[in-house]
Structure 1
Amino acid sequence: MKVEQKTINTIRVLAAEAVQEANSGHPGLPLGSAPMAYTLWANMAHNPKNPKWENRDRFVLSAGHGSALLYALLHVFNYGLTAEDLKNFRQEGSLTPGHPEYGHTVGVEATTGPLGQGIAMAVGMAMAEKHLSAEFNKEGYPIVDHYTYTLVGDGCLMEGISYEAAALAGTLALGKLIVLYDSNNITIEGSTNIAFKENVRARFEAQGFETFLVEDGNDIAAIKKALDEAKANLSKPSFIEIKTQIGYGCPKKQGKAAAHGEPLGQENLAEMRSFLEHHDQAFFVEDEVKMHIKELNQAGAKKEAEWQKLFESYAKTYPEYAKKWEQWHNPEEVKLYIYDKYQDTSKKMATRVASYEVINHMADIVDYIIGGSADLAPSTKTYMNDKGDFSSEDYTGRNLHFGIREHAMGAIANGITLHGGLRTFCSTFFVFSDYMKNPMRLAALMKLPVTYVLTHDSIGVGEDGPTHQPIEQLAMLRSTPNLITFRPADAKETVAAWEYALNSKTEPVAIVLSRQDLPFLEKSGEEAKKGAYVVGGVAPEEAEILLIATGSEVHLVEQAIKVLAEEGIKASAISMASVDVFEKQSDEYKESILPSNKVKRIAIEAATSFGWHKYTGFEGQVISIDTFGESAPAGIIFKKQGFAVENVVNQAKQMLRK
Structure 2
Amino acid sequence: MSKIKEQSINTIRVLAAETVQKANSGHPGLPLGSAPMAYTLWAEHLKHNPKSPKWENRDRFILSAGHGSALLYSLLHLFGYGITIEDLKNFRQEGSLTPGHPEYGHTVGIETTTGPLGQGIATGVGMAMAEKYLATHFNKEGYDIVDHYTYALVGDGCLMEGISYEAAALAGTLELGKFIVLYDSNNITIEGNTDIAFRENVRARFEAQGFETFLVEDGNDIEAIGAALKAAKANQTKPSLIEIRTQIGYGCPAKQGKAAAHGEPLGIDNIKEMRTFLGHHEEEFFVDEEVKTHMESIIQKGVAEEAKWNALFENYAKAYPELASEWKSWHADEEVSLEELYAKYADPAGKKATRVASFEVINEMVKAVPNVLGGSADLAPSTKTYMNGKGDFSAEDYTGQNLHFGIREHAMGAIANGIRVHGGLKTFCSTFFVFSDYMKNPMRLAALMKLPVIYVLTHDSIGVGEDGPTHQPIEQLAMLRSTPNMVTFRPADAKETVAAWEYALNSKTEPVAIVLSRQDLPYLEKTGAEAKKGAYAVAGCEPKDADIILIGTGSEVQLAVEAVKELEKEGVKAAAISMASMDVFEEQSQTYKESILPPHKTKRVAIEAAASFGWHKYTGFEGRVIALDTFGESAPAGVIFEKKGFTVANVVKVAKEVLA
TM-score normalised over the length of structure 2: 0.99
Deviation of the 1:655 alpha carbon? 1.4
1:377 pairs with 2:408: no
Query: Which residue type is aligned with residue 173 of structure 2?
Result: T
CA offsets per residue over residues 236-287 of structure 1, 9 Å max, x none? 0000000000000000000000000000000000000000000111111101
SS in 2 for 1:254: coil
Distance 1:332 1:230 in 2: 37
The correspondence for 1:229, drawn from 219, 225, 231, is 231
Q: Which residue of 2 aligns with 1:564?
A: 567
CA offsets per residue over residues 489-518 of structure 1, 9 Å max, x none? 000000000000000000000000000000
Deviation of the 1:333 alpha carbon? 0.8
Q: Which stretch shifts more, 290-299 or 192-201?
A: 290-299
Q: Which residue of 1 aligns with 2:97?
A: 95
Count of aligned pairs between the two proteins: 657
CA offsets per residue over residues 399-441 of structure 1, 9 Å max, x none? 0000000000000000001100000000000000000100000
SS in 2 for 1:249: coil
1:98-137 to 2 correspondence within 5 Å?
98-137=100-139
Distance 2:71 2:280 in 1: 17
Query: Which residue type is aligned with residue 500 of structure 1?
Result: Y
Distance 1:167 1:476 in 2: 29
CA offsets per residue over residues 104-125 of structure 1, 9 Å max, x none? 0000000000000000000000
Q: Which residue of 1 aligns with 2:427?
A: 424
Query: Which residue type is aligned with residue 318 of structure 2?
Result: K
Q: Which residue of 1 aligns with 2:653?
A: 650
CA offsets per residue over residues 173-195 of structure 1, 9 Å max, x none? 00000000000000000000000
1:242 pairs with 2:215: no
Q: Which residue of 2 aligns with 1:467?
A: 470
Distance 1:282 1:50 in 2: 30
Q: Which residue of 2 aligns with 1:542?
A: 545
CA offsets per residue over residues 456-483 of structure 1, 9 Å max, x none? 0000000000000000000000000000
Q: Which residue of 2 aligns with 1:314?
A: 316
Q: Which residue of 1 aligns with 2:9?
A: 8
Q: Which residue of 2 aligns with 1:174?
A: 176
Deviation of the 1:653 alpha carbon? 1.2
Q: Which residue of 1 aligns with 2:332?
A: 330
Q: Which residue of 2 aligns with 1:601?
A: 604
SS in 1 for 2:180: strand
Distance 1:506 1:438 in 2: 18
Distance 2:478 2:308 in 1: 51
Deviation of the 1:331 alpha carbon? 2.3
Distance 2:6 2:54 in 1: 29
Gaps of 5+ in 2: none
Q: Which residue of 2 aligns with 1:24?
A: 25
The correspondence for 1:406, drawn from 405, 409, 429, is 409
Q: Which residue of 1 aligns with 2:441?
A: 438
Query: Which residue type is aligned with residue 406 of structure 1?
Result: E
Distance 1:300 1:365 in 2: 36
1:583 pairs with 2:614: no
Distance 1:55 1:284 in 2: 33
SS in 2 for 1:630: coil
Query: Which residue type is aligned with residue 396 of structure 2?
Result: E
SS in 2 for 1:414: helix
Distance 1:656 1:238 in 2: 67
SS in 2 for 1:536: strand
Distance 1:252 1:654 in 2: 73
1:213-228 to 2 correspondence within 5 Å?
213-228=215-230
Query: Which residue type is aligned with residue 329 of structure 1?
Result: H
Query: Which residue type is aligned with residue 18 of structure 1?
Result: T
Distance 2:568 2:129 in 1: 56
1:347 pairs with 2:350: yes
Query: Which residue type is aligned with residue 232 of structure 2?
Result: A
Deviation of the 1:364 alpha carbon? 1.1
The correspondence for 1:150, drawn from 149, 152, 159, is 152
Gaps of 5+ in 1: none
Q: Which residue of 1 aligns with 2:400?
A: 397
SS in 1 for 2:142: coil
Deviation of the 1:605 alpha carbon? 0.1
Distance 1:155 1:366 in 2: 39
CA offsets per residue over residues 301-329 of structure 1, 9 Å max, x none? 11111000000000000000000001100
Query: Which residue type is aligned with residue 654 of structure 2?
Result: Q
Query: Which residue type is aligned with residue 296 of structure 1?
Result: I
CA offsets per residue over residues 190-209 of structure 1, 9 Å max, x none? 00000000000000000000
Distance 2:405 2:371 in 1: 18
SS in 1 for 2:418: helix
1:486-565 to 2 correspondence within 5 Å?
486-565=489-568
SS in 2 for 1:338: helix
The correspondence for 2:253, drawn from 231, 251, 254, is 251
Q: Which residue of 1 aligns with 2:72?
A: 70
SS in 1 for 2:182: strand
SS in 2 for 1:349: strand
Q: Which residue of 2 aligns with 1:574?
A: 577
SS in 2 for 1:285: coil
How much identity, in percent, do the aligned residues show?
Answer: 78
Q: Which residue of 2 aligns with 1:41?
A: 42
SS in 1 for 2:469: coil
Q: Which residue of 1 aligns with 2:164?
A: 162
Q: Which residue of 1 aligns with 2:638?
A: 635
Query: Which residue type is aligned with residue 101 of structure 1?
Result: E
SS in 2 for 1:428: strand
Q: Which residue of 2 aligns with 1:79?
A: 81
SS in 1 for 2:283: coil
- The runs of at least 4 consecutive aligned structure 1 residues that moved more than 6 Å come to none
Distance 1:111 1:434 in 2: 20
SS in 1 for 2:181: strand
SS in 1 for 2:169: helix
Query: Which residue type is aligned with residue 2 of structure 1?
Result: K
1:192 pairs with 2:194: yes
Distance 1:5 1:537 in 2: 76
Deviation of the 1:353 alpha carbon? 0.2
The correspondence for 1:611, drawn from 609, 614, 636, is 614
Query: Which residue type is aligned with residue 357 of structure 2?
Result: A
Deviation of the 1:347 alpha carbon? 1.2
Distance 1:183 1:331 in 2: 40
Distance 2:333 2:5 in 1: 43
CA offsets per residue over residues 14-36 of structure 1, 9 Å max, x none? 00000000000000000000000
Distance 1:238 1:332 in 2: 35
The correspondence for 1:61, drawn from 60, 63, 86, is 63
TM-score normalised over the length of structure 1: 1.00
The correspondence for 2:280, drawn from 270, 278, 287, is 278
SS in 1 for 2:415: helix
Query: Which residue type is aligned with residue 29 of structure 2?
Result: G
Query: Which residue type is aligned with residue 654 of structure 1?
Result: E
